Structure 1
Amino acid sequence: MQTTQMIKVLLADDHVIVREGTRELIQRESGMMVVGEASDGVEAVEMSMKVHPDVVVMDIAMPRLNGIEATKQIKQLLPTTAILILTAYESEQYILAILEAGAASFLLKNVKGTQLLEAIRAVYAGESVLQPSTTRRVIDQLINKATKTEEVSAVNPLTDREIEVLKMAARGVSNKDIADQLYLSNRTIQTHLSNIFKKLSVGSRTEAILYGLKRGWFIMEDLP
């Protein structure tokens, strides 16, 4: 059965065997395809500009340019591309650096193939792969850090409904549960999130949440 939209994935890892295994896994999955591969961070940025992937699956430890720096550059050039980081580290220091760079989420390298495929689909749809408790803790730290360096702007291009959806996303509520609670279809919620991403020039709900919080459109204390 043909899908209406193929998810274009770029693989960035300096280990050939890892890229080969990941490519085979993705190519067997309907609805997604590998459109490029990179063996280091510089290649990842250059290849992203050539193929404009929907999702980049990015390793952190790579030659010439690490995955975090490559993520920063890709997000500056292609803000709506979602970056999914693969890492062997789970410390909050790494998670903070990953999300600050603009990554949509991260997975540990011991993840199962099915979980990786689910995560690719999730970040492509604007979902968060982080656990709600992790999301809340990490976002709190990012906001505390950001308020010292960023000016708060009152200009808000989002509609009241979009802000409502974004607040629920900030609580870690899934697209499906947002739809159920607002008595809307899942497709309508996806459309709202897509519009939010376009207006803010971001590629994931994590980035959108941080964008709104940093500008004072809502605060974590407002979220039950």
Structure 2
Amino acid sequence: MIRVLLADDQQLVRVGLRMLCESDPGVEVVGEAGDGREAVRLAERTRPDLILMDLRMPGVDGITATERIMAARPASRIVVLTTFDDDEHLYPALAAGAFGFLVKDSPPAELLAALHRAADGEPPFSQSVLGRLVAQAVRAREPRARAREIPELSPRERDVLAMVGAGLSNREIAERLHLGVSTVKTHVTSLMRKTGAPNRIRLAVLAARASAAE
């Protein structure tokens, strides 16, 4: 069971999110916060597995709340759910410790899938957000360094790397390649070990560089 805390200043949004979460038997809403201060308090009291955090809230905003929660509980997984996916909101949220970043117009099924991905340790990002992160990281490095950063990989590992770069989840990769999810997880772990990438975002950046070097 994934225990979720909702933090959004709009009651209608919280009602909709609660209804969506309650439609999934594997998700339980353990609390609702109308502002960042209450989110910090409820995070400490309920100790949820995931926190869905809005950014623009009165008083203590979502970025400040994220910083305070992460300072108190560094293992917390906070997924930003916001209307604003611009750089002004994205990078401060990630710097504060957000685990993922989703936009509110995400389809309901995609949002639920993102919760499960986050619970499994896969940082969820809306496609537009992931693309911007990868593009900026690629631009920030010298082109001549691209090829050197990709170690020798098996054909299957290269397939998995490319799909991670496209933003696919382990389950989606498994379906595309006709593999078990556990097998895909093993490949992703191997890719992180071989490349030294600490997370899937870094793997996605490497995938973009590998594609550009071809």
Do both share a fold (TM > 0.5)? yes
* 2:71 corresponding residue in structure 1: 76
Checking the alignment, whether the CA contact within 8 Å between 1:100 and 1:142 is kept in structure 2 is no
Checking the alignment, whether the CA contact within 8 Å between 2:161 and 2:203 is kept in structure 1 is no
Output the TM-score relative to the length of structure 2.
0.66
Q: Which of 13, 38, 42 pairs up with 1:43?
A: 38
Checking the alignment, whether the CA contact within 8 Å between 1:127 and 1:174 is kept in structure 2 is no
The structure showing larger relative contact order (alpha-carbon pairs under 8 Å, at least 6 residues apart) is 1
Output the TM-score relative to the length of structure 1.
0.64
Q: Distance in 2 between matches of 1:111 and 1:178?
A: 20
Percentage of pairs with the same residue: 34
Q: Which of 108, 124, 127 pairs up with 1:128?
A: 124
Q: Offset at 1:134? A: 4.1
Q: Offset at 1:56? A: 0.8
Q: Select the structure of larger CA radius of gyration.
A: 2
Q: What secondary structure sits across from 2:199 in the alignment?
A: helix
* Correspondence list, 1:164-183, <5 A: 169=164, 172-176=167-171
Q: Which segment drifts farther, 182-191 or 6-15?
A: 182-191
Runs of at least 5 residues in structure 2 that lack an aligned partner in the other structure: 142-152, 190-196
Aligned residue type for 1:86: L
Runs of at least 5 residues in structure 1 that lack an aligned partner in the other structure: 1-5, 148-159, 195-205
Q: Offset at 1:143? A: 8.5
Aligned residue type for 1:72: E
Q: Offset at 1:13? A: 1.2
Q: Distance in 2 between matches of 1:208 and 1:40?
A: 30
Q: Offset at 1:39? A: 1.5
Q: Distance in 2 between matches of 1:56 and 1:16?
A: 16
> Which structure is higher in helix share?
2
Equivalent residue pairs, number: 193
* 1:108 corresponding residue in structure 2: 103
